Amino acid sequence: MDYLLTRLVDPLFMPLHPGERVYWLYLVSGLALAGFIYALRAGKLASLRGLLRYCLPRAVLLHRSALLDYRYFVVNRIVFGLLLLPALPAAALGAAAVTRGALDFLFPGLRLACGGTEMLLLQTALSALALDFGLFFAHRLLHEVPMLWEFHKIHHSAEVLTPVTAYRMHPVDDLLSMALSGAFGGVVSGAFQFLDPGNPGPLTVLGLQAAIFVYYLAGFSLRHSHVWLDYPGWLGRILISPAQHQIHHSKAPEHAGKNLGFIFSFWDAACGTLWRPARQERLAFGLSGEAAAYTSIRRLYAVPFLRAFAFVDRKPQMAALLACLALGVLVSLGVLLRETMA
């Protein structure tokens, strides 16, 4: 019962948790960057009223799409906590265990001292790369597999972008992304645990993987916003800028499936999905011709399932994939029941 109560009040405390994308420090750093961009464009005589209108525009924050985001944020966080959060470590722990076992079979008795600053930084970097590749791989599947695209559509159905839009994700979408990022990250973790059984893991800041913490702090909240911030030259070929992610949300046909990376953009460069803007682009967000399908919380949950089942009759492998996703939810429910009864 305590577990259930904790999940119900969880949305209220998310701005206080460094592991959440709406942590207050990330929001403040994004707001500061937005203010700096406004000052550069407007000049030193910019007014406070103009600054507030630029950083916190009513037309965006009170748009019907944003209001739906706020409601869905609360409801889906509770759903996420009940169905998916208990199973969150499963993929990472499983991949780490398999990796340790495989390496122990191939290289019995091999051990290395993984202490020291150099090894800590190496593990932190490799961990970030693995987690990010898992997210990129999942994101590409969500765009290119028709049945999975039906679940990812709800994220792209947002007609305006706010930091809360980052949570406009279907549970099936979250399940796939967590599973793949956890699995790839678990391989790195398992390798370092094999080399050094006492390995403490990658560098963390406030309990969060250090590389991800820095990325969140460096304007991550502007990815889902109206504020255009693109990275210059070489940096934009390494990191996904807020502007590049806004392009990813564009409904323009030429932007479809571009900039799929979470942190790093070189995955996109390698796969031909990188879009580097030459200048600021005028963007319209949402799904062309499908806005009416995603206008309520109920529709955000139900429509993807209804449309995904249409693929089952056409392709047996789609039915198998849907069954696997359903099994994942059932496993999560089992873990939830165990936590509740404990």
Rounded Cα distance, 265 and 241, in Å: 9
Per-chain mean pLDDT for the chain: 85
Flag whether pLDDT at 335 surpasses 50: no
Rounded Cα distance, 185 and 132, in Å: 9
Residue range 311-328: mean pLDDT, rounded: 60
Residue range 310-336: mean pLDDT, rounded: 58
Residue 339 pLDDT: 46
Residue range 15-43: mean pLDDT, rounded: 91
Rounded Cα distance, 255 and 151, in Å: 19
Please tell me the least confidently modeled range out of 72-81, 125-134, 263-272.
72-81
Residue 159 pLDDT: 96
Flag whether pLDDT at 121 surpasses 60: yes
Mark out the alpha helices in the chain (DSSP H runs): 2-13, 24-42, 48-55, 58-61, 64-83, 90-106, 117-144, 146-156, 171-195, 210-217, 233-236, 242-249, 266-271, 297-312, 316-341
Does residue 173 contact residue 152 with C-beta atoms inside 8 Å? yes
Rounded Cα distance, 13 and 29, in Å: 19
pLDDT tens figures, 59-79: 999 999 999 999 999 988 887
Residue range 294-302: mean pLDDT, rounded: 93
Does residue 268 contact residue 261 with C-beta atoms inside 8 Å? yes
More confident residue, 107 or 21: 21
Residue 238 pLDDT: 94
Residue 151 pLDDT: 94
More confident residue, 76 or 81: 76
Three-state DSSP class for residue 289: coil
Under the banding of pLDDT at 50, 70 and 90, the label for residue 333 is very low
Residue range 113-135: mean pLDDT, rounded: 88
Report residue 97 as tokens.
């265990």
Under the banding of pLDDT at 50, 70 and 90, the label for residue 100 is confident
Q: Give me the half-sphere count of Cα atoms (radius 13 Å) on the Cβ side of residue 263.
A: 21
- Contacting residues for 67 by C-beta, under 8 A, at least 6 apart: none
Please state, in angstroms and as integers, the Cα–Cα distance from residue 166 to each residue in 104, 120, 155, 209, 282, following that order.
Answer: 40, 30, 8, 19, 21
Percent of the chain whose predicted confidence (pLDDT) is above 70: 83
Residue 342 pLDDT: 52
pLDDT tens figures, 246-257: 999 999 999 999
Looking up tokens 């000049």, which residue turns up? 43
Count how many domains the chain has. 1
Q: Give me the half-sphere count of Cα atoms (radius 13 Å) on the Cβ side of residue 270.
A: 10
Flag whether pLDDT at 219 surpasses 50: yes
Three-state DSSP class for residue 252: coil
Residue 328 pLDDT: 55
Rounded Cα distance, 114 and 121, in Å: 11
Please tell me the least confidently modeled range out of 31-35, 51-55, 78-82.
78-82
More confident residue, 312 or 139: 139
Rounded Cα distance, 248 and 260, in Å: 7
Flag whether pLDDT at 109 surpasses 90: no
Please tell me the least confidently modeled range out of 74-78, 160-164, 241-245, 308-312.
308-312
Residue 107 pLDDT: 82
Does residue 11 contact residue 200 with C-beta atoms inside 8 Å? no
Residue 25 pLDDT: 96
Host domain of residue 35? 2-341
